[in-house]
Structure 1
Amino acid sequence: MNSIPVSFVIFKILVLSIGMYLAVKWHYVRGQKDKNQKTAAVLLTSIKVGAAFVASSFLMLFLTLEFCKRMGLDLTM
């Protein structure tokens, strides 16, 4: 019974990894077709999107922990 969550997590990681690979590949091919687009601009935009994702992830983690503390949940390990 404990193997079900593990298999779901593995499946989720696999699906998201394949999706991210295909998205990056699609954007790369699209950038190669469009000669007006510079490689540096694509790299800079990718870095900005990645930084925004990491920042929003940390913000969501912080807000979740604050909400749990305010609700009185014990979060000590």
Structure 2
Amino acid sequence: MATPSGFTCAQHGDGTVVITHRGRAAATLRGSRARKFLTEVESGDAQLVMARWTGAYTYGNERAARNHPRNR
């Protein structure tokens, strides 16, 4: 599984956090969600945290699920 990349985040003066992926806005966080996100970014891998928060996180089981007999 490849590690996530291409994510950046910018914190604005009003407490809003904007997460972008390859130059396009992927998520905007405000209030308590923004604060929780910022503490999580400080304590872990920033790229992985941003991928999870935007929903662009791949779990690695897509190929296995596609080949399962139930999904044919």
Is this a same-fold pair by TM over 0.5?
no
Calculate the TM-score normalised by the size of structure 1: 0.28
Q: Normalized per residue, which structure has more helix?
A: 1
TM-score under structure 2 normalisation?
0.29
Relative contact order, higher structure (CA 8 A, sep 6+): 2
Comparing both structures, which one devotes a greater share of its residues to strand?
A: 2
